[in-house]
Chains A and B, each alone.
Chain A
């Protein structure tokens, strides 16, 4: 037994233990304020979804007894502005929880839908954002790092790489599984250290506060945004509605569209096997339960749409989605699935914050447009 005769053989494990212990300091909020930039707070959205589920569990029974109908929204940051109050104006006696999160693909949506259903909570309608971005493999990055759990991943492992994810195949790969383990084992992987963050977070920035402007540090902005996020979980049931009509200048919009495309659309375009399978399974579950559901493509600027067309992303995602919905319609005659491409519905409000995010001011119109599809079922 060499380990007893030569105790130094244990040293690699002791060193690993020490390093892992120090690594866990990065999980502390007080440390993260200095190691991550104030601009990168996406992960906090993921943290707040747990509070949102608890809130839903707490109020579901009472609101159901009061005859109110539950709506759920699953999407990315492009669905974050949907507002429960705005929805209830169009569909009275409803309340809607918004489970959207930045860069969240269908793996994340399916995960939260599963967790909600496990609580015996049955939604009365669902708005599901889906387009080439949410179907792309890149949309798995954040959910794997900041959400999901091991049993969910194991349940959806991709065993048959030849089977089509649109029909009966797809799922998480061993690489996804490894990324999941890495993010759970190493805080440095989940919250990468940005050495410039400490200085940047202390710099002052001009921010609109109330009627005027004020100089505030990055750290103060971060804290304010986190507080707003927490509050939104309770007050706005997960949504962060805003009336802003900020628009990116025309000359920058096209360049932004190229940047967004390079970030979100792999070339040559292909949908992620996990995203596609979970999208399909979500729709199947919703069809089986006859839950009115609107699958919608959010509006994007024309240059981005052009890129989607040129790369084949548009056709691939559209034909796949249409095919699934038609098939499920035949398999489940009581299914209430609708597919809406917002850009083809002639929206009047066309103010874009960037090439893929429509401004907060346009959401009332978008909400109306989507709910119209299922209003008769509510």
Chain B
């Protein structure tokens, strides 16, 4: 059930009404049932699988909270990783092994599955990457003694399954959530903020992301057919698209959660205003990057070891982030691409704000500072957009084809959408500027009616003119 469908509107309206009608103590149960139904609407078989995964994890959690043993932690982390690897990386591993040493290839495995089990292939369960990382974090934190109180099973299930964030994050920590569950009460400001976020998310996803997708798709499908400038614009456009898609999803998730009285963390902090790649990755998909920092980068030694080890840790962490997104060499290379840029910046001493020392020392005016910042923003956007060619290409060959078109200034078919894509990039930057400002609040009380009415009408007219398409959120596949 996509957030942009009418079905979700009906579903959410029902949950919202029942949630605020029933006594407080029953609300977590309602959320649990609704969340399970939300997931089962995609696949009831995987809903059962998910419940089993959650129950096994709960048993381990209770054990870790009682007696934090390394072996218990290792076992439950291993189980979660095996679950993820089986569903997400099995074909990737098998395909690679098949090419390397000639074992049974994925096609033969599918034929075997079809013949013996009646299923054509191993299906990737929705949200498996998100819930696996969230569960691992919970277990590690329990082992580290960071969870002060043992959550009840219903609190745990609500935390794990909570439908606004379950499918595509944000990846939550216990510290983000558990404390709110015991104080579930309505708050007018929060609810109005929620409405605003839902509206903003719908515009980002439906009006921008879904519509630009139709323009970009043909170029990514056949980069060799278009000239270099078209390929470059398509890459720049896809950066805007993925931001609007994912940030739009997060806005709807946060907004609907706020309407139920619960805050979930923001995933984006105006990433396109970053002046370096390092800064960009501190502002993009924040909850994933924090997870990788706390549970991969720091345990690997972080920046406490030698510089060479530090760079290796950075590159390895970013490579893992690439693989988390998808099981293919293109995603792995995408992660490496980002890791290499972050490491080079670190090596060159580029600070977060990308300002050379002489500016800080007051040699040049604030205009120069602004120019450097702007230059840094262009650089960070370009690096991100060019990296996304790996992320969004069907194959490595297709990605190389696109790079070839761009870097060798090759000719090809004309594209009538350059201006449109340019406008989309500009609008996306505007969204980032809005995101960087202090949050805008709708006035409470009767004053909220004209503001919300006007905003609601604008959103409806935009959605009418750019109707919801059938594209899924990009991050649903992870």
B453 within 8 Å of A (CB atoms): yes
Once the chains bind, are B191 and A193 in contact (CB under 8 Å)?
Answer: no
CB distance from A190 to the nearest CB of B (A): 8
Q: Which of A58-66, A67-75, A105-113, A180-188 contacts B (4 or more CB under 8 A)?
A: A180-188
Q: How many residues of B contact A (CB 8 A)?
A: 29
A178 within 8 A of B: yes
* A10 and B259 alpha carbons, distance in the complex (Å): 11
A-B contacts, 30 of them at CB < 8 A, read A1-B21, A2-B21, A2-B186, A3-B20, A3-B21, A8-B188, A8-B191, A11-B192, A11-B449, A12-B16, A12-B191, A12-B195, A13-B13, A15-B449, A18-B449, A19-B456, A19-B460, A178-B5, A178-B6, A181-B6, A182-B6, A182-B468, A185-B6, A188-B463, A188-B465, A189-B463, A189-B467, A192-B464, A193-B464, A194-B465
Residues of A within 8 A of B185 (CB): 2
Contacts A19-B453, A22-B453, A188-B465 aside, 17 further interface pairs with beta carbons under 8 A come to A2-B20, A2-B185, A6-B188, A9-B186, A9-B191, A11-B191, A11-B452, A12-B195, A15-B449, A15-B452, A18-B449, A19-B456, A174-B7, A182-B468, A186-B460, A186-B463, A193-B464
Known: A6-B188, A16-B456, A178-B7. A11 touches B448 (CB 8 A): yes
Contacts of B452 in A (CB 8 A): 11, 15
**Is A42 positioned at the interface, with any CB of B under 8 Å from its CB?**
no
Residue of B186, B191, B460 touching A188 (CB-CB under 8 A): B460
Is B100 part of the contact surface with A, judged by Cβ < 8 Å?
no
On whether the beta carbons of B467 and A182 are closer than 8 Å, the reply is yes
CB of A300 to closest CB in B, whole Å: 24
A193 to B457 CA separation, bound complex (whole angstroms): 12
The answer to whether A15 and B6 have CB atoms under 8 Å apart is no
Q: Are A18 and B460 in contact (CB under 8 A)?
A: no
Interface status of B434 (Cβ within 8 A of chain A): no
Q: Is the CB of B464 within 8 A of A188?
A: yes
In whole angstroms, what is the CA distance A13 to B16 when docked?
11
B71 interface residue per 8 A CB criterion = no
**Once the chains are docked, how many angstroms separate the CA of A193 from the CA of B7?**
24
A175 at the interface (CB under 8 A from B): yes
Q: How would residues 429 to 449 of chain B score, 1 for a CB under 8 Å from any chain A CB and 0 otherwise?
A: 000000000000000100011
Task: Tell me whether A193 and B448 are in contact (CB under 8 A).
Answer: no
**Do residues B259 and A12 form an inter-chain contact, with CB atoms below 8 A?**
yes
Contacts of A47 in B (CB 8 A): none
- Residue A50 interfacial (CB < 8 Å): no
Q: B443 to nearest A CB, angstroms? A: 12
Please name all residues of chain A whose beta carbon is closer than 8 Å to the beta carbon of B444 when the two chains form the complex. Answer: 8
Is B347 interfacial (CB-CB < 8 Å)?
no
Expressed in whole angstroms, the Cα–Cα distance for A2 and B195 within the complex equals 18
B365 interface residue (CB < 8 Å to A): no
Max chain B Cβ within 10 angstroms of own Cβ: one of A12, A13, A178: A12
Most buried by A among B259, B460, B465, B468: B460
A23 to B465, CA, bound (A): 13
A145: nearest residue on chain B (CB-CB)? B467
Q: Which residues of B contact A189 (CB under 8 A)?
A: 463-464, 467
- Please name all residues of chain A whose beta carbon is closer than 8 Å to the beta carbon of B460 when the two chains form the complex: 19, 23, 186, 188
Residues of B within 8 A of A13 (CB): 13
**Considering the complex of A and B, which 9 residue pairs feature the smallest CB-CB distances, nearest first?**
A188-B464, A19-B456, A2-B20, A192-B465, A6-B186, A8-B188, A189-B464, A192-B464, A15-B452
Q: How far is the CA of A163 from the CA of B16 in the complex (A)?
A: 38
**B461 contacts A by Cβ under 8 Å:** yes
B152 part of interface (Cβ distance < 8 Å): no
Encode contact with A along B400-435: 1 for CB under 8 Å, 0 otherwise: 000000000000000000000000000000000000
Q: Which residue from chain A places its CB closest to the CB of B24 in the assembled complex?
A: A2
- CB-CB nearest in chain A for B198: A12
B463 contact set on A, CB distance < 8 A: 186, 188-189
Q: Contact partner of A18 among B6, B20, B456, CB < 8 A?
A: B456
State A182–B460 Cα separation when bound (angstroms).
11
- List of A residues within 8 angstroms of B195 by Cβ: 12, 15
Chain A residues with Cβ below 8 Å from B13 are 13
Nearest B residue (CB) for A1: B21
Is B306 among interface residues, defined by CB-CB distance under 8 A? no
For B19, give the chain A residue with the smallest CB separation.
A2
Question: Does the CB pair B186–A19 fall under 8 Å?
Answer: no
Interface string of A1-38 (1 = CB under 8 A from B): 11100101101111110110011000000000000000
Q: State how many angstroms separate the Cβ of A360 from the closest Cβ of chain B.
A: 31
B7 in contact with A188 (CB, 8 Å):
no
